[in-house]
Amino acid sequence: MDDAIRLGIEDLDPYLVQNWCHHLKIEYVSVSPLGQMIRLPSLGMKRLSCAYARYRCESVSINTAASGFVQQNCLGCKHHKQVSLLNFVTFGKPWGWIVSLLFRTRASTIRFILKHSTMIIITLFCLFVLPPIFALFSVYHADLFRAFSQIDQLFGLRIYDKNVLTALAQINATVFALAFTIPIIATQLEKYRSEISMFSGYHLYYMLLFIFSIFFPILLPEGSNLGYAISIIVSFACLLLLIPYLKWVKESLDPERIIKTLRKAAFSNVDNHNEKDWKASIEKLNQIIIRSLSEKDYGTFSKAFEVLPELARHCFDRKFMIRDHPSQGYIYIGREITRISELAIDDRTATQITSEKILLMDTMHVPANESNERTFPLKLMEQTGLSWLAKLAIERKNNINAMHPIANLLKSSSFIVYESDFGRQLASTFQLQTINFLLTMPEEVVDWAYSLNESEYKVKYGGGDLKIALLGIAAKFYLEYKKKLEEKKKGEQK
């Protein structure tokens, strides 16, 4: 079973086969019983065809079908138009490992550079900039001190005081210790704990400036009036910058700022295929979601939970895989979404938020034209999550809370428009599954959910044509449900 699921996941995006030829057409003919059970549409029979081919090939594996298709149709074909050198035929040749190695090496190198860019810059600076500076200083240090003395004479400064410099260095050291201890303590005392990057960005630059203000007065040549002036100026600059620095620390502890930082980190980890840091970002985000739910801080809860379906969509688009398990990243996040939604099921406001945000995976994704047959697994994930929440609420005798996941399930099933014949078949099957599930729900809850959507469209879109269109689409699906419900009642009466 695991091998079959892994095969279905691999066939969700067969880019190595599609890269073989522009004219190659891949169709998902049918879905196996296992694929229907786990909502994996690529688990079943696939068909490969071409307008210039003599034969079509079908198989449960796209790679198997592709191998047979190429042998029967593509050898010597004058219409062949390769999409990319990165295709399954090239990789299968004796020298194909070279192309594969070059591609993987290039991708791995880019990911490594993006992940460790700061460390690489520091290393290069230490290797190629600092040694020449130290070498020049060791050779010309006497000339440098003489130049300082000449500049002192040029400006006519007579302000050097060793005691003041010593006191200045001590004051700067004390302020430095306090300034960079405050953020560490503050992060531990905040309701939503976070981490402030102490050794990156402006934080690092400010720290280096402070260190310079501490050691420069100590290393200053005896009697240097110009150095004395520079020490005072730098010390005052450090103290003045302390105000915006503390303001920045305070803003960094704001929950919305923390959520944006975690969102950026999680998306970046997906792009760089950094699974370890990706999971760590999700875990920190989950902690904020659960804490805000317990505190009934619905604003923070909504903003934090919203990241999960958006991240699931990003994982799907980037084909992000989890190496430890035979699943993709979006499936992992789908489980996290379901787990958190279960915790919120007894809270009506939180249930409303989770039900609405789940649709961001596909139904309410922006731009809308990116939602098509390719993203159907996300549509299935929406259906599975919302159905489970509604069922859980009903089991807990909480019909009011069940209204929200059902209302969004109606939206997900109503607003599904695919252009191809296979896509329309998927949409029809999806809507039928939703109706069959709704038939197991109390009729009054479904009626409440439909009325809730109807009121939302009227309030949000006023008297425009969009409101009329949305009401028409929703009514059509609702009438289909009512028709099936009447048939069910008549069958029970017989």
165 touches 230 (CB < 8 A): no
Q: How many beta carbons lie within 10 A of that of residue 135, not counting itself?
A: 10
pLDDT at 425: 83
pTM of the model as a whole:
0.67
- Pairing mode, strands 46-49 and 57-59: antiparallel
CA 440 to chain centre: 35
Element (H, E) at 173: helix 162-179
Cite the DSSP H helix spans in 254-295: 255-271, 275-294
How far apart (Å, rounded) are the C-alpha atoms in residues 417 and 42? Answer: 19
Which runs of E-coded beta strand occur in 407-446? none
Q: Does the N-terminal peptide bond of residue 255 adopt cis geometry, omega within 30 degrees of 0?
A: no
How far apart (Å, rounded) are the C-alpha atoms in residues 126 and 13? Answer: 44
pLDDT at 38: 57
88 touches 16 (CB < 8 A): yes
Is 322 strand, coil or helix? strand
pLDDT at 190: 73
Query: Which residues are bridge partners to 28 per DSSP?
Result: 46
432 touches 450 (CB < 8 A): no
Banded pLDDT at 389 (limits 50, 70, 90): very high
Comparing 15-29, 387-401, 460-474, the range with the smallest average pLDDT is: 460-474
Comparing 123-127, 154-158, 311-315, 408-412, the range with the smallest average pLDDT is: 154-158
Question: For residues 273 and 101, which has the higher predicted lDDT (pLDDT)?
Answer: 273
Percent of the chain residues past pLDDT 70, beyond the cut: 81
User: Quick check: 374 pLDDT over 70?
Assistant: yes
pLDDT, averaged across the chain: 82
